[in-house]
Amino acid sequence: MAEDELEIERVEVKRCPLCGSERSRHAIFEKAVEKAVPLTYLLCRDCGLVFQSTRMSDAARQAFYQAEYRRHIQGHEGPSAKDRWVQARRAEHLLSFASSRLSGVKTHLDIGSSLGELLLAFRQRYRCEGLGIEPGEAYRQESQRRGVNAVADLGDIGSEWRGRFDLATAIHVLEHLPQPVDYLRSVQETWLAPGAHLLAEVPNLFGHTCLELAHALAFSPQTLSSTVEAAGFEVLAVKVHGRPYSRLLKPFVLVLARARSEPQPFPRSHGGVVVTRARRGLGMLTLHAARFASSVLLHQSQREPWAG
């Protein structure tokens, strides 16, 4: 096996992770290859979700995020200059978005807390208690050195936190989860206070390359909203944006929601396979054109401000 190839145990996905439809309702959406690993993404004809099949097994996924994920995407385990720059500015944008909509936060659970930038930003703004979930050891240890309370897994949270959090954040997390509805529902039922808020951001299927080994799912604004609603939340606001990279491109989808006592039914109608592929194609054309233009027109310091 070549040095950059990966051998990962994978399993077939027989039901849609959002609506539960069977294989006969799934169409091939797009194929790719990443480090000699073939990737196939399917589109659910019923709810519109795009998902990977086959995907990493649960055991392989746990091992991958504990030790391999950062080396896989950035070549080394520790934080890069780009990562630090992006996380700091993303935290600024998310705090700005939330602070105009949330009058107060007492306890904050950040799932996928990484270096702890978001926890630190919310702690400074709201004077709230915070707890991070970060499986990557190098990132978790660095956040702890910065004064962040962080553990490796939800199962490591002490029982004294049950039902206490009035805000949960999941920033670039849900696309990695094979069953996001079940995961979010479990978080709400176990750890969130009644009426707690959820802030979630994912790559945008119509504006981000996003189809990669680590991403079990690829969300549109509609399917992210549907996922959050199916997990028992009411969507309050949706924003499609490009921060911190761009004011013009729209590679990310951000949702603010509030916990409800019962899951909401979600509409199953969507544009269909042809329309979804066309929107994806147009988004990728725009993205690649913008990247080419920036490589020609902008200086290196403008294209990569974290390198300066």
The per-residue pLDDT for range 111-144, each reduced to its tens digit, is: 999 999 999 999 999 999 999 999 988 899 999 9
- Stated pTM of the model: 0.92
Strands 192-203, 37-44: pairing is unpaired
Q: Helices 180-191 and 221-230: crossing angle, nearest 10°?
A: 40
Residue 259 per-residue DSSP state: E
What CATH number should be reported for the domain holding residue 227? Answer: 3.40.50.150
Radius of gyration over every alpha carbon of the chain, rounded to an integer in angstroms: 19
> Is 199 within the bounds of a domain?
yes
Contact between 205 and 219 under an 8 Å Cβ cutoff? The reply is: yes
Cβ neighbours of residue 236 closer than 8 Å, sequence gap 6 or more = 101, 197, 256, 257, 258
pLDDT value at residue 177: 96
pLDDT value at residue 1: 38
Contact between 201 and 171 under an 8 Å Cβ cutoff? The reply is: yes
> Is 267 within the bounds of a domain?
no
Residue 117 per-residue DSSP state: H
Tally of domains in the chain: 1
> Is 110 within the bounds of a domain?
yes
> Is 19 within the bounds of a domain?
no
User: Any idea how long the chain is?
Assistant: 308
> Is 239 within the bounds of a domain?
yes
| 269 — pLDDT class (breaks 50, 70, 90) | low
pLDDT value at residue 6: 58
Helix (H) or strand (E) holding 28: strand 26-34
In this predicted structure, which of 57-71, 89-103, 142-156 has the lowest mean pLDDT? 57-71
Residue 307 per-residue DSSP state: G
> Is 89 within the bounds of a domain?
yes
Query: Residue 172 above 60 pLDDT?
Result: yes
Which comes out higher in pLDDT, residue 28 or 62?
28
Structural domain boundaries, residue 233: 81-259
| 259 — pLDDT class (breaks 50, 70, 90) | very high
Query: Residue 48 above 60 pLDDT?
Result: yes
Query: Residue 307 above 80 pLDDT?
Result: no
Residue 68 per-residue DSSP state: I
pLDDT value at residue 14: 95
CA distance 213 to 247: 28
> Is 226 within the bounds of a domain?
yes
| 74 — pLDDT class (breaks 50, 70, 90) | low
- Say what percent of the chain tops pLDDT 90: 74
Side chain identity at residue 252, one-letter code: F
pLDDT value at residue 3: 39
> Is 28 within the bounds of a domain?
no
Q: Determine the average pLDDT of the residues in 175-191.
A: 96
> What is the residue whose two structure tokens read 């995907």?
55
On average, the pLDDT of the chain sits at 90
Q: What does the DSSP assignment read for 40-58?
A: EEEEETTT--EEESSEE-H
| 68 — pLDDT class (breaks 50, 70, 90) | low
Token pair for 75:
């070549």
